Amino acid sequence: MGKPTGFMEFTRQERTYAPAGDRVRHYDEFTNPLRDARVSEQGGRCMDCGIPFCHTGCPVNNMIPDWNDLVWKEDWQGALDTLHSTNNFPEFTGRICPAPCEAACTLNLDDQPVTIKTIECAIVDKGWENGWITPLTAPKKTGKKVAVVGSGPAGLAAA
């Protein structure tokens, strides 16, 4: 996964935030994303640790090392497909998640963990930019109604 020596060559780089004085004047995104090359380097920091503890730290069991590797290889669409295989709404969950996967990252033992949340948000942003994320509407409306209990990601996916 990633670059075998990437965790030794690249330091952790996170997104920065817009000044608070600017953020209170609008409802737009308040993070300043990393450039694609920097995000790719961060994906290269994933070290093929053998047992990816980031999986157990992730509430939706995202295949984090897989999409980190695809981002390192600059296969953004493949990374998005892999992300969507376990998460119906990474565009929401990736932004609000407190990223327990980063705390579980093996690199966190002796170094700074991989910037998993930053990479996930970059994958989704790239998907929107390139039109890879599109709404999936029902081909035929039945007129039937259902009740969905829960307002989390599973409830939204069911709706």
Domain ranges of the chain: 6-158
- pLDDT top residue among 115 and 48: 115
pLDDT at 137 > cutoff 70: yes
Q: Select from 158, 84, 65, 63 the least CA-distant residue to 127.
A: 84
CA dihedral 75, 76, 81, 82 (to 10 degrees): 70
Mean pLDDT of the region 34-58: 91
Q: Any idea which of 18-22, 60-64, 72-76, 149-153 has the lowest mean pLDDT?
A: 149-153
Q: Any idea which of 62-66, 76-80, 87-91, 127-131 has the lowest mean pLDDT?
A: 87-91
Q: How far apart are CA 71 and CA 65, in angstroms?
A: 10
What stretches of the chain adopt beta strand conformation (E)? 16-17, 31-32
Q: Select from 98, 1, 99, 80 the least CA-distant residue to 42.
A: 1
Report the b/e string of 5-21 with b at 16+ CB within 10 A.
ebbeebebbebeeeeee
Confidence of residue 138 (pLDDT cuts 50, 70, 90): confident
Token pair 């060559």 is at which residue? Answer: 9
pLDDT at 147 > cutoff 70: yes
**High-pLDDT (> 90) share of the chain, %:** 57
Q: Are 46 and 6 in contact (CB under 8 A)?
A: yes
On average, the pLDDT of the chain sits at 90
Confidence of residue 1 (pLDDT cuts 50, 70, 90): low
Confidence of residue 89 (pLDDT cuts 50, 70, 90): confident
Which CATH superfamily hosts domain 6-158? Alpha-helical ferredoxin (1.10.1060.10)
